[in-house]
Chains A and B, each alone.
Chain A
């Protein structure tokens, strides 16, 4: 049998162990990417994926590390500046009409995008009446995000992004720094509740006006993508906003008939009031 086919068996056994032992279901993740990640986890630690299974079953602490490797920790502040600019110019003015605003970022990873959002809300005078929820399945990155500490090496890129996203002040107004790291100011960090939430298995936990979920659904198969879009639909107020990644598939979203396009380039949608 080809090595690759043997690997497929190992990965399927590994994911089954993860589900049966810990209740995490990666069965509806897009196959090619999850395979890459599991192989990456194995190659860093041992000869084969099969060797990971005993650890997963018997070492209690190993789970967090596995989840961390299998979820996406990559992001940047104001990633895709035109998207943040559009949110600022066309979505935030509509959020202003609500006395209280709730925002949810699903799949926040290390927090770069949610802090970008907080900075915009602050500049638009909305932060005081906004509650922000940032969720992920990866507890390790959630703790990092909560700390709000980022490496200085990315700062130049973030400053450029901030400017092209329509930043009204100086990016340096929002952090303190030493040689290696910068940390987002406490009054901004305090506005965010970081919480564990699994889009595969958890349900609605609040009613929100805006959901940011960028480059998360690309890792899900059609069935799971549908489940999550339905979850977003139920979590959003009527005419609430959903912002997806710029290269995510529009067709699947439209097929839901529960979202209409607000801005196609930036992948921002309106929630329709009709329950499917």
Chain B
């Protein structure tokens, strides 16, 4: 399946495709990890960044303002029906699943929790795999939960590029380990090397 797509589009290696979006999932220890990765992205970064971080439901969503302090790109909470723009960082609102439609607008849902959480990384990643196909980076960071593994697999199956933070050195290794166990991961890297890897492939 994958070979035929590559042949048709005359593309030779994963990552050489024109990347349109980077989806990132994290849980325990995610804030610090996100700061490192986002801190490495320059102004004018030519893709959309969409994040699901497991946070407590209810109350205000502090994550966008916390991330904005160390990120050169504008960070905001993804709004329903809003268009996902290049060079912007979007964060899922608490207690809603975040999905991306094929027309590159955001959708929210209050469907049941997936892997005991809402927002779920799997839900975002699977919809993003559908929407962006091979023009997508999936990245799993630290976390104490198995969410994201199935989603990363979907991204790989759709021809996208899959990266995982090295579980050795991660604040919590369950999530990266679960992702690696799917066998659908292109590269496992230390936290500090992830932004560079993304930039080198865009």
Question: B110 in the interface, Cβ–Cβ < 8 Å?
Answer: yes
Known A2-B1, A3-B1, A247-B96: A74·B81 in contact at CB below 8 Å? no
The answer to whether B109 touches A218 (Cβ under 8 A) is: yes
Question: B127 in the interface, Cβ–Cβ < 8 Å?
Answer: yes
Question: A94 in the interface, Cβ–Cβ < 8 Å?
Answer: no
A4 to B102, CA, bound (A): 12
Fill in one digit per residue for B126-149: 1 if any A CB lies within 8 Å of its CB, else 0.
110111010000000000000000
The answer to whether B111 touches A33 (Cβ under 8 A) is: yes
List A contacts of B130 (CB < 8 A): 4, 32, 35
What total of chain A residues lie within 8 Å of the partner, measured CB to CB?
Answer: 24
The answer to whether B80 touches A33 (Cβ under 8 A) is: no
How far does the Cβ of A137 sit from chain B's closest Cβ, in whole Å? Answer: 16
How far does the Cβ of B64 sit from chain A's closest Cβ, in whole Å? Answer: 13
A74 to B95, CA, bound (A): 12
Partner of B80, one of A31, A72, A74, A247: A247
B-contacting residues, A79-103, CB 8 Å: 80
How far does the Cβ of B202 sit from chain A's closest Cβ, in whole Å? Answer: 23
Question: B99 in the interface, Cβ–Cβ < 8 Å?
Answer: yes
Interface magnitude class on chain B? 20 to 34
List B contacts of A32 (CB < 8 A): 99-102, 107, 127, 130-131
List A contacts of B127 (CB < 8 A): 32, 35-36
A30 to B107, CA, bound (A): 8
Question: B20 in the interface, Cβ–Cβ < 8 Å?
Answer: no
Chain B, Cβ-Cβ closest to A80: B58
Closest 8 pairs between A and B when the two form their complex, measured CB to CB:
A32-B99, A249-B80, A32-B127, A249-B81, A215-B110, A30-B107, A33-B109, A218-B108
Fill in one digit per residue for B103-130: 1 if any A CB lies within 8 Å of its CB, else 0.
0000111111000000000010011011
Of B1, B96, B107, B109, which is in contact with the most chain A CB atoms at under 10 Å from its CB? B109
Question: A51 in the interface, Cβ–Cβ < 8 Å?
Answer: no
Chain A, Cβ-Cβ closest to B127: A32
A167 to B100, CA, bound (A): 38
Partner of A72, one of B81, B110, B131, B157: B110
How far does the Cβ of B75 sit from chain A's closest Cβ, in whole Å? Answer: 17
A218 to B80, CA, bound (A): 7
Question: A251 in the interface, Cβ–Cβ < 8 Å?
Answer: yes
Chain A, Cβ-Cβ closest to B2: A2
A75 to B111, CA, bound (A): 9
Question: A37 in the interface, Cβ–Cβ < 8 Å?
Answer: yes
Chain B, Cβ-Cβ closest to A216: B110
Partner of B123, one of A36, A215, A248: A36
How far does the Cβ of B161 sit from chain A's closest Cβ, in whole Å? Answer: 16
List B contacts of A219 (CB < 8 A): 109
The answer to whether B102 touches A31 (Cβ under 8 A) is: yes
The answer to whether A249 touches B79 (Cβ under 8 A) is: yes
A215 to B129, CA, bound (A): 25
Fill in one digit per residue for A137-150: 1 if any B CB lies within 8 Å of its CB, else 0.
00000000000000
Partner of B158, one of A2, A33, A72: A2
List B contacts of A31 (CB < 8 A): 101-102
Known A32-B99, A222-B81: A37·B111 in contact at CB below 8 Å? yes
